[in-house]
């Protein structure tokens, strides 16, 4: 009797668990269909059906699609499945004028049958292993809810065809993308075991890694150690929040530490990279060469359940206030600085710095022998050779660089020091070139910081540093040397022209037309951003129409010539400079009157050599130092000595010293501070392992 009772007990538990799993899968399927329905408006649905339905041929193909094309990007056969998906929505969606229409059902079946027979392939694995099985899965999930389902043999064949890509071998966003179509397959086949595997693999990338994916500094790296906070990082975010929104209320729900990690990356790494509705161009990888890529308005559509911000809020309602503020900025219901909190972050794993203020964003992209330069691949980002050489993204409205890339002079990317070539240089190393120097990093106390980049690339060497305060960023360069035949320049900015350019030389203020060269410029102002020059330097500013094409920087881009007026400002260091230097201060969010009255006496550039660079801000009571080797800096009323290379932020107002090791090798740093007759020696134990290069703070007397 006991054995029989145990048998029925186990059977009851199994049946209950099975029934519960089937109920969860059904609920997940409904949520997926709801999101698919929302992707296509009623007007677009009607327009697509009217356009596609009459043109489909008897064999299920469309005459305007080349099914033999194997293109790497913009693969033409992919349009076939997009059209079938639209027709499937028209057939199954309640309220659609084509709901249950037999002609539409015939077209869907014929088109899917043709696809199975033709089996088109791209040279790009992504289309074959991700895009195609995802599209097939979505179409079959739609038809699963139809009053007239797909023929069983056709569905079986297509389900088998979906089995593409090895989810266990892939990493980061690619793993997630494959897991997505396995989730679709689990829903179609009502397979609870497969759903278990799919969901665990989908959420697997939400973890710290030293490989590709989410890093210990909350940056995102893909294709090796390459900055991808947007691009692959956005694919990761969108996919994870999408799956998490499907799984809510089921046994598969995302929770605990993984949910915290996902929210941390979204709220404190990704969202701060967006100013207004436009993201920092440094975060897009090779996608920087794609038209409209910087515009992220589609991520924040209020009330749209499959927009990223709405999904994030649904998954973590406790973050609603932060997400709603971002929603209003990105949808332009509020100004770009609305709800922003001042913060400073250096991502020591990615060689990237974010400096965020309500009035502006100033971010810096560098590269070390631990990371990779911005990649070229699939004929994209053909001219981005110097993107990682200290490029500065300076934004007020956010649109300063939107779609300017075809017109850019790519050896004058904002912030970089480079040779001034006659023509743009092609990026020759595919999929990311490893940096060439080790002393690259930054210090941060979460509000202020300093970053440095020891550059030795393409025949140019320079020590570059940025010192970040509230109202301004001080930019220094030293040890500029080159044996190249070209003039060596440091680009200060290259953005869309927006209004007048005003300059002051010898205390005379003038408006700039076309092009001007200066030897003793005091300050310059354009588009609410001021540029102050502490010492005489050879400066060029232009206000000209520049031309280009998307095709020139992206082999799949439009060939038509595009043009526009560009503001360009740079420093000239001459041909074959030896130990040259530069200094300038960027002051965002000022008027010309305010620039003329700018309190330059609060900023003191203490030293700018190839051994040490230091800036003191008297108003904030801060001293920020980059020691390229052991040495001493004498500031106002104090001396600071370091026994090895490091970056230091000394805050007298907070009585703290914050330090970091850009080499990411030292375990200990000794700093000695002498003020008047008092001397303090601080033995700083530096973080190791996955936190090597990160900042650590110490209290001082």
Give how far the C-alpha of residue 567 lies from the chain's centroid of Cα atoms, to the nearest Å.
24
223 as an active site residue: the answer is: yes
Are 476 and 608 a contacting pair, CB within 8 Å?
yes
Catalytically annotated residue among 98, 220, 232, 628: 232
- Compute the distance between CA of residue 522 and CA of residue 530 in angstroms, rounded to an integer: 11
Q: Give the contacts of 529 (CB within 8 A, at least 6 positions apart).
A: 360, 394, 396, 493, 586, 587, 588, 589, 590
Are 128 and 121 a contacting pair, CB within 8 Å?
yes
286 as an active site residue: the answer is: yes
Strand, coil or helix: what is 662? coil
Bridge partners (DSSP) of residue 151 are none
**Residue labelled with tokens 């130092």:** 625
232 as an active site residue: the answer is: yes
Are 573 and 580 a contacting pair, CB within 8 Å?
yes
Catalytically annotated residue among 33, 286, 526, 573: 286
Catalytically annotated residue among 83, 185, 223, 526: 223
Q: Give the contacts of 502 (CB within 8 A, at least 6 positions apart).
A: 509, 510, 511, 512, 524, 525, 526, 592, 595
First to last CA, the chain: 79
- Compute the distance between CA of residue 504 and CA of residue 559 in angstroms, rounded to an integer: 40
Residues 558/563/566/571 CA torsion (nearest 10 deg)? 70
Instruction: List the structure tokens of 281.
Output: 């161009």
Phi, psi of 375 (to 5 degrees): -80, 155
Residues 614/617/623/629 CA torsion (nearest 10 deg)? -10
Strands (E), 154-269: 213-214, 220-221
Are 206 and 258 a contacting pair, CB within 8 Å?
yes
Give how far the C-alpha of residue 181 lies from the chain's centroid of Cα atoms, to the nearest Å.
25
Q: Which residues are catalytic?
A: 223, 232, 286
């Amino acid at each position: 009797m006991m054995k029989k009772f145990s048998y029925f007990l186990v059977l009851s538990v199994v049946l209950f668990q099975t029934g519960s799993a089937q109920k969860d899968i059904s609920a997940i399927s409904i949520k997926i269909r709801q999101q698919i329905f929302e992707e296509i408006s009623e007007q677009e649905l009607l327009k697509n059906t009217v356009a596609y339905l009459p043109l489909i041929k008897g064999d299920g193909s469309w005459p305007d699609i080349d099914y033999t094309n194997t293109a790497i990007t913009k693969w033409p056969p992919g349009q076939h499945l997009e059209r079938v998906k639209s027709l499937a929505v028209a057939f199954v969606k309640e309220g659609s004028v084509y709901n249950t229409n037999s002609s539409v059902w015939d077209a869907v079946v014929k088109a899917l049958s043709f696809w199975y027979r033709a089996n088109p392939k791209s040279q790009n694995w992504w289309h074959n292993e991700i895009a195609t099985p995802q599209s097939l899965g979505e179409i079959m999930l739609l038809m699963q809810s139809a009053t007239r389902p797909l023929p069983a043999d056709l569905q079986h064949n297509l389900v088998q065809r979906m089995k593409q890509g090895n989810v266990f071998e892939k990493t980061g966003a690619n793993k997630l993308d494959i897991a997505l179509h396995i989730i679709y397959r689990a829903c179609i086949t009502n397979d609870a075991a497969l759903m278990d595997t799919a969901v665990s693999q989908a959420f697997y990338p939400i973890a710290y890694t030293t490989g590709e994916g989410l890093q210990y500094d909350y940056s995102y790296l893909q294709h090796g150690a390459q900055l991808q906070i947007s691009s692959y990082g956005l694919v990761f975010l969108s996919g994870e929040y999408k799956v998490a929104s499907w799984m809510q209320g089921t046994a598969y729900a995302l929770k605990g530490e993984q949910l915290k990690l996902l929210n941390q990356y979204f709220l404190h790494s990704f969202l701060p990279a967006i100013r207004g509705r436009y993201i920092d161009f440094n975060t897009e990888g090779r996608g920087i060469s794609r038209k409209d890529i910087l515009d992220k308005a589609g991520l924040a559509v209020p009330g749209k359940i499959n927009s990223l911000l709405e999904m994030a809020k649904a998954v973590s309602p406790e973050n609603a206030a932060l997400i709603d503020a971002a929603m209003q900025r990105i949808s332009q219901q509020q100004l770009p600085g609305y709800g922003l909190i001042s913060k400073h972050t250096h991502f020591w794993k990615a060689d990237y710095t974010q400096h965020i203020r309500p009035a502006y964003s100033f971010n810096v992209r560098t590269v070390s022998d631990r990371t990779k330069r911005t990649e070229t691949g699939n004929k994209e980002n053909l001219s981005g050779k110097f993107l990682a050489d200290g490029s500065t993204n300076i934004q007020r409205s956010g649109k300063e660089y939107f779609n300017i890339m075809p017109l850019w002079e790519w050896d004058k990317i904002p912030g970089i020091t480079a040779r001034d070539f006659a023509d743009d240089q092609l990026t020759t190393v595919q999929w990311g070139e490893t940096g060439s120097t080790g002393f690259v990093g930054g210090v941060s106390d979460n509000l202020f910081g300093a970053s440095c980049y020891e550059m030795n690339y393409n025949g140019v060497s320079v020590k570059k540093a940025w010192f970040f305060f509230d109202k301004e960023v001080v930019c220094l360069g030293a040890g500029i040397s080159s044996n190249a035949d070209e003039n060596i320049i440091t680009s200060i900015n290259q953005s869309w022209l927006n209004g007048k350019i005003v300059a002051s030389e010898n205390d005379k203020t003038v408006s700039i037309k076309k092009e001007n060269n200066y030897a003793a410029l005091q300050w310059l102002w354009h588009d609410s951003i001021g540029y102050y020059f502490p010492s005489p330097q050879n400066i060029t500013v232009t206000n000209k129409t520049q031309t280009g094409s998307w095709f020139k920087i992206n082999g799949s881009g439009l060939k038509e010539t595009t043009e526009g007026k560009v503001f360009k400002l740079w420093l000239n260091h001459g041909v074959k400079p030896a130990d040259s230097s530069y200094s300038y201060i960027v002051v965002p969010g000022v008027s010309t009157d305010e620039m003329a009255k700018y309190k330059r006496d609060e900023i003191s550039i203490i030293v700018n050599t190839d051994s040490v660079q230091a800036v003191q801000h008297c108003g904030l009571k801060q001293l920020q130092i980059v020691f390229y080797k052991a040495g001493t800096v004498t500031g106002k009323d104090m001396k600071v000595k370091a026994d090895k290379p490091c970056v230091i932020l000394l805050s007298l107002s907070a009585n703290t010293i914050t330090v970091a090791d850009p080499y990411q090798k030292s375990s200990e740093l000794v700093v000695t501070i002498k003020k008047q007759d008092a001397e303090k020696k601080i033995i700083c134990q530096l973080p190791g392992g996955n936190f090597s290069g990160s900042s650590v703070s110490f209290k001082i007397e």
